[in-house]
Amino acid sequence: NAGVMQNPRHLVRRRGQEARLRCSPMKGHSHVYWYRQLPEEGLKFMVYLQKENIIDESGMPKERFSAEFPKEGPSILRIQQVVRGDSAAYFCASSPRQGLDTGELFFGEGSRLTVL
Amino acid sequence: RKEVEQDPGPFNVPEGATVAFNCTYSNSASQSFFWYRQDCRKEPKLLMSVYSSGNEDGRFTAQLNRASQYISLLIRDSKLSDSATYLCVVNKGHDYKLSFGAGTTVTVRA
């Protein structure tokens, strides 16, 4: 499968625990984007990364959330001390270059976080 | 005000019917417009781009009205497989940040 791969698909955490979501971009893509979809809301941009660099994290909550895209391995979205309001679907997307020529982002199937 | 607003629906239509819905966007600097489709608990996928002159892709027709800042999608001869949530998406040029509406749910019944 050459698509964007996310895992885990479903994650349940208790309040105060940590959540780690992983994303492997499509082959040949070096740009990764994380979006969050809260219930009944549209997807919201969180962060844009290239290998070893955070390009734009303007959509990330100031506390508890962090993201990385190391030289080797998948991109990781980390949420510390989760709260119930973090329950959402987290989608990762990738592209081969910055900017979207066609407006098409290729999304992974998402990671659904439930905080009890 | 939300950047992109959509009527959430649901629009319940019989097979073969035509269904149409709009979305409005608030940023007049927006340059690129798209419709994505999202099936229940799945990822969004690009359905079609929306061009100023309007465009058609099979049974789907998209229109853009820049003056009134709205985009429309029309589905003709609805199929059961058209049941999904349709997301209106707006972009300022070729920026990497897409602004998504919350979606319009369409249910096609037999």
| pLDDT at residue number A101 | 61
- The first and second tokens of residue B109, run together, are 């019944």
- Subunit contact B49:A102, Cβ cutoff 8 A: yes
Closest chain A residue by Cα to residue B44: A107
**Which residues make beta-bridge pairs with B70?**
B24, B65
| pLDDT at residue number A39 | 85
Are the beta carbons of B78 and B86 closer than 8 angstroms?
A: no
Are the beta carbons of B98 and A56 closer than 8 angstroms?
A: no
The distance of Cα B73 from the centroid of its chain, to the nearest Å, equals: 5
Give the Cβ contact number of residue B53 at 10 Å: 7
Are the beta carbons of A107 and B42 closer than 8 angstroms?
A: no
Among the residue ranges A65-69, A101-105, A111-115, B55-59, the one predicted with the least confidence is A101-105
Are the beta carbons of B45 and A102 closer than 8 angstroms?
A: no
C-alpha distance from A107 to closest chain B C-alpha (Å): 6
Q: Percent of chain A having pLDDT more than 70?
A: 94
pLDDT digits (tens, 9 = 90+) for A54-95: 999 999 999 999 999 999 899 999 999 999 999 999 999 998
